[in-house]
Amino acid sequence: MEISLFHEPWWLSAVTDGRYSEAVLKQGSDIVGRLPYVVVRYGPFRTVRMPPFTHVLGPAVDAGAGKPQTRLLRRLSITRSLIDQLPSSSYFHQHLDPSLDDGLANADGLAFLERQFAVTSQYTFEIDCRRSQDDIFAAMHKKTRQPIRRAEEKYSVRCVDNPQAFIDFYLQNTKARGRRNRLEFKYFPALFSECRARDCGTILGAFDHDASPIAMTYLAWGHGIMYYLLSTRSSQGDYGAISLLLWSAMKLAHKLGLVLDLDGVYSSGTVKFLSGFGGRIKTRLMVRRSQPHFHALQSLKRHYARDETQLFT
């Protein structure tokens, strides 16, 4: 059964302090399906969500051998069984890992649709860094290569060994931009430690001439894929610093023989920025199910938040 980095028990334990659950299906003594999840209390509501710092998850399934239709039907059956084991909740939300389709693209989405979940698309860029560095760099848009060359003259890149330094820098930049932090950083030191112990994660920092941090990014990798998980930039830095860190991540992924996942496209701005690195676009599926009472409350909160915004603008 194929799994991703995010399905590893040590990862799930680190980002939840051991408080995660799994739907599991066995055939005899063999596990043929796993679906990890986390139950989170949201006031009076019980919600099922993905663990912190875990960007894709969904079912991990062993569809066995046989013809494509046989394997497809077996995968659908296993995924349905996993879904049926999920606890009752007011809200469910997960992003499915497209690398675990086992050649059966989007099959899990069909099973979720059958069980009355809403299935929508999210996009990411993947860069095959197993090619030569010259080929990788040449595949970038010239408007991406130029800021990298300029940033190489201004900044130095090195690993950051202190996870608290990353947290402090991230929160400082978030506050300076007037944004609210939504990340559960209390789990980050444990995750960083577990990844370092397995040599599958690092913090890269870009520093100016007086060693002041300009930008940092957190990378983690496993099962053939490196993930660009977190990134932050100070107000003194430009996007060239982030581009430089991404190029550094691509060189590291090349050294390790990995594909680099740029982790999601959330706006036209990110499309324009990330597409310049020469990756190919890939579809992820997002599955959600919301009970009417929870949906009504969330809609009401969004309505009042919009009214408040309009009042002060």
pLDDT digits (tens, 9 = 90+) for 109-142: 999 999 999 999 999 999 999 999 999 999 999 9
Would you place residue 268 in the very low, low, confident or very high pLDDT band (cuts 50, 70, 90)? confident
DSSP-based three-state secondary structure for 261: strand
Going by C-beta distance under 8 Å and a sequence separation of 6 or more, which residues neighbour residue 73?
none
Would you place residue 98 in the very low, low, confident or very high pLDDT band (cuts 50, 70, 90)? confident
- How far is it, in rounded angstroms, from Cα 259 to Cα 250? 9
* pLDDT of res. 2: 87
* pLDDT of res. 303: 45
- How far is it, in rounded angstroms, from Cα 240 to Cα 225? 24
User: Looking at domain 5-116+284-311, which CATH architecture does it have?
Assistant: 3-Layer(aba) Sandwich (3.40)
Q: Where in the chain is the domain with CATH 3.40.630.30?
A: 126-278
- How far is it, in rounded angstroms, from Cα 206 to Cα 212? 9
* pLDDT of res. 298: 64
> Is CATH 3.40.630.30 the classification given to domain 126-278?
yes
Average pLDDT over residues 245-261: 98
**Which of 153, 134, 119, 116 minimizes the C-alpha distance to 244?**
153
DSSP-based three-state secondary structure for 36: strand
Would you place residue 306 in the very low, low, confident or very high pLDDT band (cuts 50, 70, 90)? very low
- How far is it, in rounded angstroms, from Cα 171 to Cα 176? 8
Per DSSP, 88 falls in state P
pLDDT digits (tens, 9 = 90+) for 32-67: 999 999 999 988 899 999 999 999 999 999 999 999
Task: List alpha helices for 85-187, DSSP H.
Answer: 107-114, 133-138, 142-154, 163-176
Tell the residue number behind the tokens 């595949």, with chain if given. Answer: 139
pLDDT digits (tens, 9 = 90+) for 203-233: 999 999 999 999 999 999 999 999 999 999 9
